[in-house]
Chain A
Amino acid sequence: MPLDYKRFNGPEDSVSYKRFTADYLKSYDELHSELIDETGHRKDGRAMDEARPMYVRGNFVSQAKGSSYIEMRGTKVVCSVFDPREIVHQNEFSTVGLLFCEVKFAPFACKRQRQSHVPDSEEKALSVALRKAVGPTVCCQLFANFQIDIFVYIIESDGSCLAAAITAAGLALANAAVPMFDVVTASSVAIIGDKIFIDPTEDEEHLAMISPDTNTNHGVITMARLNGLMQIADFRQIGSLDIECILKVTDILEQECQKVFPKIQKTLVGYVKNGIMEQKRLSEEGKAREAKLKDKMLEWRSSIVNNSV
């Protein structure tokens, strides 16, 4: 991997000092017991089935055609979408439009390690996942041989990044007035044993990925859903789960996606309203201007007529 030579990089086989801090050396059981307190609440005070509060807005990046910003406490994501543009350097004419997705972490986004400026495997995997999740909702057949660029920038990452990125991308696409079948929202869940963490934080996700050797369930599931059509656009599971658990979680995820939906809808309706008002205002202004022009014209014409007479 190319190194960033503008910074001091330390010896190649060096190990971060954090590895030897007390936090890092905790065993699996310790970490596990830390996640939930005696009252059955999580570290940040949420109940198990409580998602973090979500702040949503569009029109966040002025240069982009459409953009959005989503914040779920520690997870902050910006997405911008640009106009379709013709695909360059392609040998064959593609009959459907393409989506180009790029997910990037800010250098300061993660607790565990600073991200480098070259896209790493995690960013690449997230980009591919985002493209798969958003693909079914965009009417790709309407812009043959064109591609739409979707850029997601993760400002701060504290779990459920992919879900936030998908929801943000769905909103930004709608904000950019790209023809879509439906609004796409996503939600994720971490499973450790018989506990289901809805909208997990980084720590919960991390623990759900490493498994004790016993036969317990562990894993992370992210689902993207088209809410109007009641269809599942993407379903990603990783870890090791039995079938009952998956089916149960599928129901929960559907509900969670449905809960996010009104927020997005409200935001979009707000923008449409604003748009209509704006248009009304513009057309009224236009009419006024036109009337003025007409008056001027009449005045001028009559002056010409007067002069000639």
Chain B
Amino acid sequence: MAGILLSHTEKVYITHGVKNEYRSDGRSNIDYRPMELETDVVSHASGSARLRLANTDILVGVKTEIDVPKPDKPGLGKIEFFVDCSANATPEFEGRGGEQLANSISNIMLRAYQSAQAFNLKQLCIFEGKQCWKLYIDILILECGGNLCDAVSLAVKAALFNTRIPFVKAALMDGGNVDLQLSDDPFDSKWLDVGSAPLLVTLCRIGEKCVVDPTAEEESCSLVSLIVGVTGNPKYYNDYEDEEELPAFEAKCSVISMHGPGSVSPQNLRDAINQGIIAAVCLDEALGKTLFRERRDTEQFKRHSYGFLK
């Protein structure tokens, strides 16, 4: 992480605080810091979102392209994650300095989105075996203030929620090649179904306990962190008339991974996974409600666009 220098005493202070469920900014161990989220901030992208979690600033743009599906998965679309660590965040990222961090984040995102229960690639299919949509999810890290993975996963879900895919007006078969005609009207398009997209929760082991949403200072006190990806509840992302018709929802883990040079005891691991799922479910509900409210405001022309000017 970007040059945080802590003395031994400061580290002891943080560790003891966590032990007693007090953190230096007044949160408990499962609280998140306040976040700011805005969707539709980049007009050149099909969908975009900007998330600011304390000092962490993430901008995500989703671009769509027509591609040919893989021969062994003819009915599925494609998805690609690209993370760019901007040098704005820290001079260490200049040139290719941020590549390692970027790769590790894009890898874990890809793993989290791999299961069809997390994100169904069938909705990106246009013409089985011939044409499909390819989503380029470009993640730009503008500032690092700890807890990158969580912020990235939230911003990605928000950007996907904001993504519209144009309808296909006509398809011409021409000797085995498909020629598609897309609708020109930006409103003649469908929203992506992202209700079940996973959110990542980083649990930082400090002493014997785990904290959610660590600050950069807390991250430097911890040797190991656990990342848990939990699928979302579609209920919060759709406007269902009758909520009882919905199938029972159960949060599932789509990815678990450990980072850092330390190790954890089995009991710690179990507690951490449980804690992560609880945190993710709360987070998912809050995100879904926020996004839904924003979409409604946009439709009723009530929304102000702030971007970076706020």
Binding site for B on A (CB under 8 A): 15, 19, 24, 96, 124-125, 128, 132, 135-137, 140, 209-211, 213, 215, 217-219, 221, 226, 229-243, 246-247, 250, 254
Structural contact, A232 and B255, CB atoms closer than 8 A: no
For the A-B complex with A237-B253, A247-B273 known, give 15 more contacts whose Cβ atoms are closer than 8 Å. A128-B104, A132-B259, A211-B117, A215-B250, A217-B252, A219-B115, A221-B256, A230-B265, A232-B263, A235-B256, A236-B258, A238-B114, A240-B253, A242-B253, A243-B251
Q: Which of B116, B257, B264 contacts A231 (CB 8 A)?
A: B264
How many Å from the CB of B167 to the closest CB on chain A?
23
Structural contact, B115 and A231, CB atoms closer than 8 A: no
How many Å from the CB of B13 to the closest CB on chain A?
22
Query: Cβ of B231: which chain A residues have Cβ within 8 Å of it?
Result: 240
**Residues of B contacting A: mostly:** mixed
Structural contact, A243 and B263, CB atoms closer than 8 A: no
8 Å CB interface, B203-261 against A: 224, 226, 231, 247, 250-259, 261
- Cβ-based interface call for B270 (8 A): yes
Structural contact, B263 and A231, CB atoms closer than 8 A: yes
14 contacting pairs across A/B (C-beta < 8 A): A24-B72, A96-B261, A128-B107, A211-B116, A215-B117, A232-B258, A232-B263, A232-B264, A236-B256, A237-B257, A240-B117, A243-B253, A246-B253, A247-B270
Query: Cβ of A209: which chain B residues have Cβ within 8 Å of it?
Result: 114
Binding site for A on B (CB under 8 A): 71-72, 103-104, 107, 111, 114-118, 120, 224, 226, 231, 247, 250-259, 261-266, 269-270, 273-274, 277
Query: Cβ of A24: which chain B residues have Cβ within 8 Å of it?
Result: 72
> Which residue on chain A has the smallest CB distance to residue B276?
A243
How many Å from the CB of A218 to the closest CB on chain B?
7
Q: Which of B104, B118, B262 contacts A240 (CB 8 A)?
A: B118
Q: Cα distance A226–B224 when bound, in Å?
A: 15
Structural contact, A136 and B71, CB atoms closer than 8 A: no
Query: Cβ of B226: which chain A residues have Cβ within 8 Å of it?
Result: 235
Query: Cβ of B273: which chain A residues have Cβ within 8 Å of it?
Result: 243, 246-247
Q: Cα distance A298–B266 when bound, in Å?
A: 66
> Which residue on chain A has the smallest CB distance to residue B264?
A232
Q: Cα distance A213–B115 when bound, in Å?
A: 10
Query: Cβ of A132: which chain B residues have Cβ within 8 Å of it?
Result: 258-259
Query: Cβ of A226: which chain B residues have Cβ within 8 Å of it?
Result: 263
Query: Cβ of A246: which chain B residues have Cβ within 8 Å of it?
Result: 253, 256, 273
Query: Cβ of A124: which chain B residues have Cβ within 8 Å of it?
Result: 103
How many Å from the CB of B229 to the closest CB on chain A?
9
Structural contact, A238 and B117, CB atoms closer than 8 A: no
Q: Cα distance A217–B116 when bound, in Å?
A: 11
Q: Cα distance A136–B225 when bound, in Å?
A: 13
Structural contact, A242 and B256, CB atoms closer than 8 A: no
Query: Cβ of A231: which chain B residues have Cβ within 8 Å of it?
Result: 263-265
> Which residue on chain B has the smallest CB distance to residue A231?
B263
How many Å from the CB of A71 to the closest CB on chain B?
27
Q: Cα distance A243–B276 when bound, in Å?
A: 11
Structural contact, B71 and A15, CB atoms closer than 8 A: yes
Structural contact, B264 and A238, CB atoms closer than 8 A: no
Structural contact, B250 and A238, CB atoms closer than 8 A: no
How many Å from the CB of B110 to the closest CB on chain A?
9
Structural contact, B104 and A239, CB atoms closer than 8 A: no
Q: Cα distance A236–B229 when bound, in Å?
A: 11
How many Å from the CB of B7 to the closest CB on chain A?
16
Q: Cα distance A22–B24 when bound, in Å?
A: 62
Structural contact, B114 and A234, CB atoms closer than 8 A: no
> Which residue on chain A has the smallest CB distance to residue B196?
A240
Q: Which of B118, B257, B269, B274 contacts A243 (CB 8 A)?
A: B274
> Which residue on chain B has the smallest CB distance to residue A121?
B107
Q: Which of A136, A243, A250 contacts B261 (CB 8 A)?
A: A136
Q: Which of A217, A232, A243 contacts B266 (CB 8 A)?
A: A232
Structural contact, B257 and A235, CB atoms closer than 8 A: yes
Q: Cα distance A96–B262 when bound, in Å?
A: 13
Q: A226-B263, A250-B270 are in contact. Are A125 and B114 (CB under 8 A)?
A: no
Query: Cβ of B261: which chain A residues have Cβ within 8 Å of it?
Result: 96, 135-136, 140
The 5 A-B residue pairs with the shortest CB-CB distance in the complex, in nearest-first order: A237-B256, A231-B263, A240-B115, A240-B117, A136-B263
Query: Cβ of A243: which chain B residues have Cβ within 8 Å of it?
Result: 251, 253, 273-274, 277
How many Å from the CB of B256 to the closest CB on chain A?
4
Q: Which of B71, B72, B250, B264 contacts A242 (CB 8 A)?
A: B250
Query: Cβ of A137: which chain B residues have Cβ within 8 Å of it?
Result: 263
Query: Cβ of A235: which chain B residues have Cβ within 8 Å of it?
Result: 226, 256-258, 269
How many Å from the CB of A31 to the closest CB on chain B?
13
Query: Cβ of B274: which chain A residues have Cβ within 8 Å of it?
Result: 243
Q: Cα distance A85–B8 when bound, in Å?
A: 30
Structural contact, B257 and A125, CB atoms closer than 8 A: no
Q: Cα distance A231–B119 when bound, in Å?
A: 33
> Which residue on chain B has the smallest CB distance to residue A112?
B72
Q: Cα distance A44–B300 when bound, in Å?
A: 62
> Which residue on chain B has the smallest CB distance to residue A182?
B263
How many Å from the CB of A214 to the closest CB on chain B?
9
> Which residue on chain A has the smallest CB distance to residue B250?
A242
How many Å from the CB of A150 to the closest CB on chain B?
15
